[in-house]
Chain A
Amino acid sequence: MKDFFAHWMTQNFLVVAGIALIAWILWSGAHHERWQRAWVRLRADRGGMIALWVVGIYLFIGALELIHLPNGKGGHHSILDVAFANRVALEKTYSAPLSDTLLSSASGEKLTGTHLLGTDTLGKDVLVETLKGCSTALVLGGLTSVIYIPLGTLMGILAGYFRRWVDDLVQYIYTTIASVPSILLLISLMMVLGKGLFQMSVAIAFTSWVGLCRLIRGETMRQSERSYVAAAKALGQTSAAIMSRHLLPNLMHLVLINFVLGFSGVILAEATLSYLGVGSPVGTASWGNMIDGGRSELSRDPLIWWNLTSATVALFGLVLSLNILGDSLRRAFDPKRG
């Protein structure tokens, strides 16, 4: 089973499936009048459109690293590896950006290649590592969302629609989880589950669904008062049909906004957890690991700043774009309150 999921063909399939899923959600939303109006407003919002493009570029780079091809020798490598194969050679250790000698050697040992952003302690090219960090961030954010979004939406709709004891139960569960400071809960989960991207997704999802659930519950209660729900009830539709066919489409925009803003939270959480030593496994090309490594490098002489800076800039670019896009989406869907 583990071999099956680790196989590169399976991973390619999962990437394509993930992209197809996002496309399907957007396409099904496109029929909804509310989404069409929101799209028109978003198109007019310059900041939001720039953010959307930037996020798209990150997605593209991430996909390049995630999709693997056979290398003709029985193994496989990513498209990104192929693209940089001729440019990047593994050095011995640190070298400054665009420098042609190793940093530490007094004799000025020559490098085997040039590195736009220098190399890290293992001699890996920082630019390539930073680009690979995109895929780690996207996998992490994607996995987390796949877990917490259905969970939060389902619990929220159930609590808001049935009310009474269902609502009491759901409220009790999420109040309990929310009363533990999320960083402590994350740390505890990571200690028990162990390091790893999947484990981190489970942990972050466990703390993230609460906010979405609260939002969906409130909006479901508001929507349930509307006449279209009463009409559906009067026509004898089942509760399941009312929730999935009538309520859900009217809540999907909240899910979308929460997804975009939640994604940025996941990336920030990865940086914190990796610093605490319970995040990405050692050796993963993740921005969190690079930032964590950079902290000891800044007190060295000469200062090694390129590793930390590249990771921070890459992370900042994605998180900022997601935050701006999320705000723009909120304004586009709800112009009065935004």
Chain B
Amino acid sequence: MLNHIIRRLLYAVPILFGVMILTFVLFRGLQSAQFIASQAVGAKAPQAAKEEFIKKEGLDKPLPEQLARFVGRTMQFEFGESWKSKRDVGEIFTQGVGPTLLITIPGFIAGIIAALALALYQVFVRNSLADRSITLVCVAMMSIPTVVYIIFCQAVVALQLNYFPASGFEWRGLETAKFVVLPILIMAIVNLGYDGRMFRAVFLEEVQQDYVRTAMAKGVPGAVVLAKHVLKNGSIALITLVVGQLPSLIMGSLLIESFFGIPGMGNVLVLAIQQGDQPVVMASVYLGALLYIFALTLTDILYAAADPRIRLS
């Protein structure tokens, strides 16, 4: 088991380096030093200010040397300071974590539970009219851009019906809820179509297994078979799907936070994109990949703990 854990961790290291190199090539290799400087201090700034920026950031050094410096600093989570607000990028992100988690975690969990319930119901009534209609609705939900969900909810539920504030955020104990209910709701709905369909496919594969027939033959009621056996055996495939969704979680919160004016990481990022604040975007690329690789490695290790066959292969 220990061997397996070490192997998985070692496997993650080169990928993390790959991500750093990719980020470096994108932001440093493809752009000239002069261009980066004019982006950072402003195109109209005097040439001397640009030269000073190039000196300070070491952009005049050869690329391999720059890469080594970039990798060294990134590994210590030093992302430099924002070009626009001049604040430390790490600090900006740390401040945004709270509001972001407040929306993404409940939204994500609610979405997964809804999709699970939907998929189990569909498998229960499989190949019926209800099953087919739900599948069609799921495909339709997948075909609407996230932006439209958000615009619609904001315009209709918040502005027209006046149920919730259209945007804004304050830490006010229980009253914070009224700012986050709508974002959480959208977060849960956005991926429902996609998740529902994927989960249904997993369960459908599972109900064709022999053990389901055996349980049915023994006289176990269908609903119990689904809830007890199929859900349990399908969970490995489900976890893979759920971990694979983590990146889209970032995207969902990106758009939702900026629409609802919630001061989370997504909002910081959208602002940075609109202002061309590259250090913030670079840091987010690295952190996003780091989180994803971490989650993937962790699930791999958990699988191995649950199923000895994986450990040996």
A203 to B23 CA separation, bound complex (whole angstroms): 14
* Chain A residues whose C-beta falls within 8 Å of the C-beta of B273 in the assembled complex: 187, 191, 276-278
Chain A interface: which of B143-151, B233-241, B303-311?
Answer: B143-151
Cβ of B29 to closest chain A Cβ, rounded Å: 9
Given known pairs A181-B247, A276-B273, A298-B159, the reply for A188 and B281 (CB within 8 Å) is: yes
* Chain A residues whose C-beta falls within 8 Å of the C-beta of B254 in the assembled complex: 183, 276
- 9 nearest CB pairs, A to B: A181-B247, A176-B18, A271-B145, A319-B143, A183-B251, A298-B155, A320-B143, A181-B288, A180-B289
A189 within 8 A of B: yes
Cβ of B274 to closest chain A Cβ, rounded Å: 5
Q: Which residues 255-313 of B have a CB within 8 angstroms of A? A: 255, 259, 269-270, 273-274, 276, 278, 281-282, 284-285, 288-289, 292-293, 296
* Chain A residues whose C-beta falls within 8 Å of the C-beta of B145 in the assembled complex: 268, 271-272, 291, 312, 315
Q: Which residues of B contact A (CB under 8 A)?
A: 14-15, 18-19, 22-23, 26-27, 30-31, 139-140, 142-148, 151, 154-155, 159, 166, 246-248, 250-251, 254-255, 259, 269-270, 273-274, 276, 278, 281-282, 284-285, 288-289, 292-293, 296
A1 to B149 CA separation, bound complex (whole angstroms): 42
A268 to B143 CA separation, bound complex (whole angstroms): 8
Instruction: Choose one: A192, A277, A291, A316; the contact of B147 (CB below 8 Å).
Output: A291
Q: Are B143 and A192 neighbours in the complex by a CB distance under 8 Å?
A: no
Q: Are B255 and A192 neighbours in the complex by a CB distance under 8 Å?
A: no
Count residues of A near B (Cβ-Cβ below 8 Å): 42
Cβ of B194 to closest chain A Cβ, rounded Å: 10
A316 to B289 CA separation, bound complex (whole angstroms): 31
Main secondary structure of the interface of A (DSSP, over half): helix
A275 within 8 A of B: yes
Smallest CB gap from A269: residue in B? B145
A205 to B217 CA separation, bound complex (whole angstroms): 50
A312 to B274 CA separation, bound complex (whole angstroms): 24
* Chain A residues whose C-beta falls within 8 Å of the C-beta of B282 in the assembled complex: 188
**28 residue pairs from A and B, CB less than 8 Å apart:** A172-B15, A176-B15, A176-B18, A176-B19, A176-B22, A179-B15, A180-B288, A181-B288, A183-B247, A185-B285, A187-B269, A188-B23, A188-B26, A188-B27, A188-B285, A191-B273, A192-B30, A272-B251, A275-B147, A277-B273, A291-B147, A291-B148, A299-B155, A315-B145, A316-B143, A320-B139, A320-B140, A324-B139
